[in-house]
Amino acid sequence: MNLIVLGLNHKTAPVEIREKLAFDTQESIREGLKKLTQTEGIKEAVIVSTCNRVEVYVCTNGENEKIIKSLKQFLSEFHNIPIKDFENHLYIFNNKDAVIHLFKVASSLDSMIIGEPQITGQVKDSFEIALSERATSLILNHLMNRALFTAKRVRNETRIGENPVSVSYAAVGLIKKVFDDLSKKSILLVGAGEMAELAMRHLIGSGIKNVYVTNRTYERAKELAKEFNGIAVSFENLKEQIAKSDIVICSTGAPNYVITEQMVKEVMPLRKHKPLFLIDISVPRNIDPLCNELDNVYLYNIDDLQDVVDSNILERKKEAEKALNIIEEETEKFFQWLNSLQSVPVIVSIRNKAEQVRQEELEKFKSRFKELPPEVIASVDYLTQSIINKIMHSPTIALKNNCDNKEILIFAARRLFGIDSEEE
Amino acid sequence: MGTIFFELALTLYFAGFLLSLAGIVRKKDDLDKAVFLLALAGFILHTIYLVIRYIKSGQAPVFSMHEATSFFAWSILFISLCMSFCYRAKVLNFGVILSFIFMFISAFFPRTIPFIKPELRSLWIDIHALMAVFGIALFSIAFVFSVLYLIQERAIKFKKFGGIERILPNLEILDRINYRLIFWGFPIYTVALVVGFVKYLSLLGFLLDPKEIWSFLTWIVYLAIFYLRVKGDWRKKKAAYLTIIGFLLIIFGFFGINLLTESFHKPL
């Protein structure tokens, strides 16, 4: 029994190749699974296809070389693309490496953005499709469940997905460190830069309802305000509007400071010194950096936000190291389970044989002592059962336990209990 | 006298203290439920201890250093438990840490029942002492949250993240907690001082001891904090600084004066 993963991802293949090999729809995955499970040597299969990766997980009882060739053939025929076009971009992992790879993928350690949460859901979806197509059985069912469990452990036991790694999300995260209930806050957008728009969208998504937009061109302010369900305000009233707002996002093309330290200084008493969060996404900067020196004023420019993002990325990388330990632990557990499977048939055979001997001897006993009352016969039945169970306990535990020379132990057990001769 | 309850409560507080510390150091909140259960169990046992002591002695359990410090620890935990219900903030962990520290300190003072002159035994004196310690406990937690406010504020202002601020609530919540604690603490402390002062006057006439003078000074500072907070202008950072100053005065009054003058209210 072998596990193989064959695939490519954003690190190994350019987007042109990835899109050619992608299984775009659920239907195409279902169709692919049908073909795979009909392939000789493949017992179980799962296809994971996202915008960044295409992977085929199979459980086989055939020769590895042959299966890998079949898998390449399958991808080539299914997508109508010559093998040589994608062969060099492929990675292939067997057994332990395949399990580690899947656990890394599910836990988002192999993603473009480490810790991004979507991939776990995508792996889960892929598994569910395979389940509904009956393309998986004992091994891959257990493997996929363990992968999802591992991903959950990684998420719970590390801080891998905790801090945002995009500038606009980082801005939202910082704002939430200052304000409690965003739905009661007001936000002012000054200018109409693309990134400011994105941050606005995230903030509106976080619950901010009072949105004001101002721009040197009032018409453009009106357009944007309409887009955000907000109110356009005149650029001349900028100071008054800042006094009414809790968050200001500035993104204009002006070459100088649109919001000056003096302006903010004058504004703060008007707003009873309530905190003011300023985000300056313009280059060159549009908000005087000295504003950050004022009490209860917090100013972040694009570099500050990028620094926050960079440190969050670094943090995620550190957490990824902790996640690797979890993955190692879970891989170990999976192989313990897999090994225990090997011994199950032997244990069953030994127990069956013992039971058979017991029944035969019990019958002989019954026919020899016919005059004995049924309670005594029942007691003897119980006694023999107990003896068998006690004798079988140690060999069962030894066979179930994970050990280095498991195959030798299974071989010895078969010989000692005469199972092979029986089967022959 | 119910000492077993004290020891058990102290043990539970210690376990809670270790878990709280672990949660803060690891910057994760996965131990919070265990902290809550330990704190609650410890709090119940501690309450039983105080009640037993009250029933047996017939006087509020706040008249010796052991009693006052232990009741102070109890008050801190009581306030923290109440607040953890009101705010989904990491209030309890800090409360448990503080409670354990004071409970631990109280264990070192003699546990004998302090002798109170018969003429001083009255419900008013009990109320005065209980309210004073409870008010101080409110101010102490306000102090802790002022420090946490400053830590969080500094992290945001100077853009340095990765420390304890990760598990702290946002600035608005921290400031609101501070406000509420002062809002409740000041009137309670005021009533305690007025009751105490009236009773003191009736017993000794106008003869002030260092503790009374210090308490009055502290009250003036808290009056200023209360006024500035309620009026609205001195919020956030300035309020946090003022609360810290007030706490330092009060803690000196609580421990420093008591220990330096070697008794509560020396002329008594």
- Give the domain ranges of chain A: 2-157, 167-300, 344-417
> Do residues B98 and B161 both lie within one domain?
no
Domain harbouring B18, CATH code: 1.20.120
> Do residues B156 and B178 both lie within one domain?
yes
How far away is chain A from the Cα of B152, in angstroms, using its nearest Cα?
8
- Binding site: what residues of A are annotated? 50-53, 111, 116-118, 122, 191-196
Q: How confident is the model at residue A247 (pLDDT cuts 50, 70, 90)?
A: very high
**Helices (H) then strands (E): counts for chain A:** 16, 10
Write the pLDDT tens digit of every residue in B72-126: 999 999 999 988 888 765 678 888 999 999 999 999 988 888 777 777 778 888 8
How far away is chain A from the Cα of B39, in angstroms, using its nearest Cα?
24
Query: Is the CB of B170 less than 8 angstroms away from the CB of A178?
Result: yes
How far away is chain A from the Cα of B223, in angstroms, using its nearest Cα?
21
> Do residues B128 and B245 both lie within one domain?
yes
Between A and B, how many CB-CB pairs are < 8 A? 50
Share of chain A above pLDDT 90, in %: 52
Architecture, CATH, for domain A2-157: 2-Layer Sandwich (3.30)
**Nearest residue of chain B to residue A316 (CA atoms):** B162
**Which pLDDT belongs to residue B266?**
52
How far away is chain B from the Cα of A141, in angstroms, using its nearest Cα?
30
- Nearest neighbour of A176 by CB, restricted to B27, B155, B170: B170
Is A291 a catalytic site residue?
A: no
User: CA nearest A204: which of A228, A225, A188, A221?
Assistant: A228
- Nearest neighbour of A308 by CB, restricted to B157, B161, B235: B161
More confident residue, A412 or B38: B38
**Nearest residue of chain B to residue A177 (CA atoms):** B170
**Nearest residue of chain A to residue B166 (CA atoms):** A177
Residue B62: which residues within 8 A CB-CB, separation 6 or more? Answer: B68, B71, B126, B129, B130, B133
The token duo for A214 is 């101002």
Contact of B179 with chain A, judged by CB distance below 8 Å, is answered with no
More confident residue, B63 or A125: A125
Arithmetic mean of pLDDT over chain B: 84
Domain endpoint, select from B76, B96, B116 = B116
**Which pLDDT belongs to residue A101?**
96
Write the pLDDT tens digit of every residue in A341-372: 778 888 888 888 899 999 999 999 989 888 88
Contact of B26 with chain A, judged by CB distance below 8 Å, is answered with no
**Nearest residue of chain B to residue A156 (CA atoms):** B30
A296: left (phi over 0), alpha (psi -120 to 50) or beta: left
Among A156, A174, A177, the residue to mutate for chain B (most B Cβ within 10 A) = A177
Q: Residue B240 pLDDT more than 70?
A: yes
**Which pLDDT belongs to residue A74?**
94
Contact of B3 with chain A, judged by CB distance below 8 Å, is answered with no
> Do residues B89 and B158 both lie within one domain?
no
Helix residue ranges per DSSP H, A107-258: 118-132, 138-157, 167-178, 194-205, 218-227, 238-244
Write the pLDDT tens digit of every residue in A91-122: 999 999 999 999 999 999 999 888 888 899 99
**Which pLDDT belongs to residue A424?**
41
> Do residues B261 and B153 both lie within one domain?
yes
| Secondary structure (3-state) at A376 | helix
> Do residues B99 and B156 both lie within one domain?
no
- Binding site for substrate: what residues of A are annotated? 50-53, 111, 116-118, 122
User: CA nearest A140: which of A66, A50, A42, A68?
Assistant: A42
**Dihedrals phi, psi of A60, to nearest 5 degrees:** -130, 160
Contact of B27 with chain A, judged by CB distance below 8 Å, is answered with yes
The one-letter amino acid code at B111 reads: R
The one-letter amino acid code at A287 reads: I
The C-alpha atoms of residue B22 and residue B166 are separated, in whole angstroms, by 14
**Which pLDDT belongs to residue A80?**
93
- Nearest neighbour of B233 by CB, restricted to A174, A178, A273: A273
Pairing of strands A2-9, A91-94: antiparallel
Write the pLDDT tens digit of every residue in A22-45: 998 999 999 999 999 999 899 999
B90 contact residues in A (CB cutoff 8 A): none
> Do residues B110 and B201 both lie within one domain?
no
- Nearest neighbour of B159 by CB, restricted to A156, A179, A308: A308
**Which pLDDT belongs to residue A397?**
85
Domain endpoint, select from B58, B92, B116 = B116
Query: Is the CB of A298 less than 8 angstroms away from the CB of B162?
Result: no
Query: Is the CB of A174 less than 8 angstroms away from the CB of B156?
Result: yes
More confident residue, B43 or B146: B43
**Nearest residue of chain B to residue A294 (CA atoms):** B157
Full domain range(s) for residue B112: 1-116
Peptide bond into A269 cis (omega under 30): no
**Which pLDDT belongs to residue B89?**
56
How far away is chain B from the Cα of A276, in angstroms, using its nearest Cα?
12
Arithmetic mean of pLDDT over chain A: 89
- ipTM at complex level: 0.80
- Dihedral sign, Cα of residue A170, residue A175, residue A180, residue A183: negative
> Do residues B134 and B243 both lie within one domain?
yes
A313 contact residues in B (CB cutoff 8 A): none
- Dihedral sign, Cα of residue A66, residue A67, residue A72, residue A77: positive
Q: Residue A193 pLDDT more than 90?
A: no
Query: Is the CB of A156 less than 8 angstroms away from the CB of B30?
Result: yes
Look up the CATH number of domain A167-300: 3.40.50.720
> Do residues B107 and B192 both lie within one domain?
no
The C-alpha atoms of residue A354 and residue A358 are separated, in whole angstroms, by 6
Q: Residue B239 pLDDT more than 90?
A: no
- Nearest neighbour of A275 by CB, restricted to B173, B176, B236: B236
The gap from C-alpha A176 to its chain's centroid, in whole angstroms, comes to: 26
Domain endpoint, select from B116, B148, B176 = B116
Burial label for A363, CB within 10 Å (0-12, 13-18, 19+), is exposed
Helix, strand, coil distribution of chain A in percent, nearest 5: 60, 15, 25
How far away is chain B from the Cα of A282, in angstroms, using its nearest Cα?
19
Write the pLDDT tens digit of every residue in B190-202: 999 899 888 878 8
Helix (H) or strand (E) holding A396: helix A374-400
**Which pLDDT belongs to residue A94?**
92
- Nearest neighbour of B156 by CB, restricted to A177, A180, A273: A177
Question: Can you spell out the DSSP letters for A252-316?
Answer: ---SS-SB-HHHHHHHHHHTTT--EEEEE--SS--B-GGGGGSTTEEEEEHHHHHHHHHHHHHHH
- Please give the tally of structural domains in chain B: 2
